[in-house]
Amino acid sequence: MEGDPTLQLRIFDLNCWAIRYLSKRRQERVQLIGDMLRQERFDLVLLQEVWSEQDYSNLKVKLGGCYPFSHYFRSGVIGSGLCVFSRFPILDTLLYQYSLNGYPYMLQHGDWFCGKSVGLVIIKISGIIFNVYVTHLHAEYCREKDAYLPHRLVQAWELAQFIRHTSKAADVVLLGGDLNMHPEDVGIRLLRGWTGLRDAFTEATRFEGCEDGCTLVPNNCFTVKTELMPFPLGIRIDYILYKAVSTFTVKCEELKTTMGTAPGTDIPFSDHEAVMATLHIQRQGQAAGANLSTAELTLADVVTEARTEVGVGLRAAQRQRYSTGRMAVLALLLLLLQAVAALGALAGLAAGQPFPKLSFSLLAFLAIGVLLLATSLHLFHTIEVKMLQGTEEQMRMVLWALQEHP
């Protein structure tokens, strides 16, 4: 078996920042991305933030010659933004939508409307089964006070669980995407620890690109400079991760990121830099076994850390559920009071007209509005509490299994 030829696989990953009406010079950039992909002829292309299906269709037409197989994942109001182009036939697909993804009322952040998900495509190359995952996790808008950390952790956990449960027949697992986490963050340590995935950047024999492998850099003319102030080099939040499941080995020979503007233009492809990995896959005599006991001890620490953060989020969600519930009850009481007053006036109990009609009806409408809004929020935070509790309990189960019954 040792003599089996090595399979070389070139993978491209990019958050395309192609939001209709909002992203700058979107159509021009999507065209540039298409041109480059056609020219470079990767084996696998994993894209995020392709929010417009029209952009996907245009890319599909343009790339049909060199990437005859593709899939667009639909979810949420706007879509998942995820799509895959492949030189090799896509045998099957599956989409998993994360149970938590920010708040519908945070309109300025908008993540909730995107139906953030993980997409799976199954590809067979030279008899080797590849489970390829593409995802985009909730953005981090303020690192110091990251209100979305519990949601992103739930997503990282669900991503890890989804990969573990669906990749059991795979020979090689690949994950590409914008994880919105720095390499040392608890979420990425959880994901890597719980799935065994390895980071192409740290494993690569050769690297070429932005310093430290950063994918959101101040030099890019589309990035918001103030957000990157604490990170003069930029941040690394886009990843290609991989592992061999059965009797295969995977090595990352080369990792690259894009830098500066697209060739022959004055703009970069996106506000993110693309990540490009060249992997070498070879069959080997027997499955590689890691030093499990040490790994499991570290994993237990990471799961504990993640569980603490989820617990913090749970208590915040419980507080919000309580306060929105109280608000709904108060609005209902006000409405009932008004109804009693109106009935009293109608029955002639009060002498004359006690309230001006206009203010009275405005107040009633206000109360109805508050009641509806507070009830919706209460229901939403009830779901949030349930999902955070569910994740915390799953993590507790895993910790129990790791610590007591290895």
Residues belonging to the active site: 272
Instruction: Round to whole Å and give the CA distance between 84 and 92.
Output: 12
Q: Among residues 221 and 295, whose Cβ is nearest to a copy of itself?
A: 295
Residue of 44, 93, 69, 378 lying closest to 242 (CA atoms): 44
Q: Name the one range near a copy of itself by CB under 8 A: 23-31, 163-171, 261-269, 310-318.
A: 163-171
Q: Provide the mask over 166-205, with x wherever binding to a copy of itself is found by CB under 8 A and - wherever it is not.
A: x-xx------------------------------------
Instruction: Round to whole Å and give the CA distance between 10 and 5.
Output: 16
* Residue 103 engages a copy of itself in binding (rule: CB under 8 A): no
* Residue 97 engages a copy of itself in binding (rule: CB under 8 A): yes
**Applying CB under 8 A, what is the total number of residues that bind a copy of itself?**
39
* Residue 162 engages a copy of itself in binding (rule: CB under 8 A): yes
Going by the DSSP 8-state scheme, the letter that residue 362 receives in this structure is H
What is the gyration radius of the CA atoms in the chain, in angstroms?
A: 25
* Residue 292 engages a copy of itself in binding (rule: CB under 8 A): no
* Residue 94 engages a copy of itself in binding (rule: CB under 8 A): yes
Task: Label residue 174 left, alpha or beta by phi (over 0 means left) and psi (-120 to 50 means alpha).
Answer: beta
Strand 44-50 with 7-18, pairing: parallel
Element (DSSP H or E) covering residue 193: helix 186-195
Residue of 178, 177, 155, 271 lying closest to 217 (CA atoms): 271
**Strand runs labelled E in 114-234:** 117-125, 128-136, 172-178, 198-199, 206-208
Q: Name the one range near a copy of itself by CB under 8 A: 90-98, 278-286, 292-300, 310-318.
A: 90-98
Task: Label residue 122 left, alpha or beta by phi (over 0 means left) and psi (-120 to 50 means alpha).
Answer: beta
* Residue 142 engages a copy of itself in binding (rule: CB under 8 A): no
* Residue 74 engages a copy of itself in binding (rule: CB under 8 A): yes
* Residue 346 engages a copy of itself in binding (rule: CB under 8 A): no
Question: Measured between alpha carbons, how far is residue 284 from residues 87, 246, 288 in Å?
Answer: 25, 9, 9
Q: Name the one range near a copy of itself by CB under 8 A: 39-47, 184-192, 307-315, 354-362.
A: 354-362
Task: Label residue 130 left, alpha or beta by phi (over 0 means left) and psi (-120 to 50 means alpha).
Answer: beta
Buried b (16+ CB within 10 A) or exposed e, 90-117: beeeebbebbbbbbeeeeeeebbbbbbb
Q: Among residues 233 and 327, whose Cβ is nearest to a copy of itself?
A: 327
Q: Among residues 251 and 386, whose Cβ is nearest to a copy of itself?
A: 386
Q: Which residue in the block uniquely carries the two structure tokens 């740290």? A: 202
* Residue 248 engages a copy of itself in binding (rule: CB under 8 A): no
Residue of 183, 109, 114 lying closest to 146 (CA atoms): 109
Residue of 40, 16, 39 lying closest to 28 (CA atoms): 16
Least Cβ distance, residue 233 to a copy of itself (angstroms): 38
* Residue 127 engages a copy of itself in binding (rule: CB under 8 A): no
Residues 10-69 touching a copy of itself, rule: CB under 8 A, are none
Pick from 79, 81, 150, 193: which binds a copy of itself (CB under 8 A)?
A: 79
* Residue 317 engages a copy of itself in binding (rule: CB under 8 A): no
Q: Among residues 116 and 236, whose Cβ is nearest to a copy of itself?
A: 116
Least Cβ distance, residue 166 to a copy of itself (angstroms): 5
Pick from 6, 208, 397, 403: which binds a copy of itself (CB under 8 A)?
A: 397
Residue type, 50: V
Residues 375-394 touching a copy of itself, rule: CB under 8 A, are 379, 382-383, 386-387, 389-390, 394
Pick from 91, 287, 288, 333: which binds a copy of itself (CB under 8 A)?
A: 91
* Residue 270 engages a copy of itself in binding (rule: CB under 8 A): no
What are the residues binding a copy of itself (CB under 8 A)? 73-77, 79, 90-97, 99, 115, 120, 161-162, 164-166, 168-169, 357-358, 361-362, 365, 379, 382-383, 386-387, 389-390, 394, 397, 401
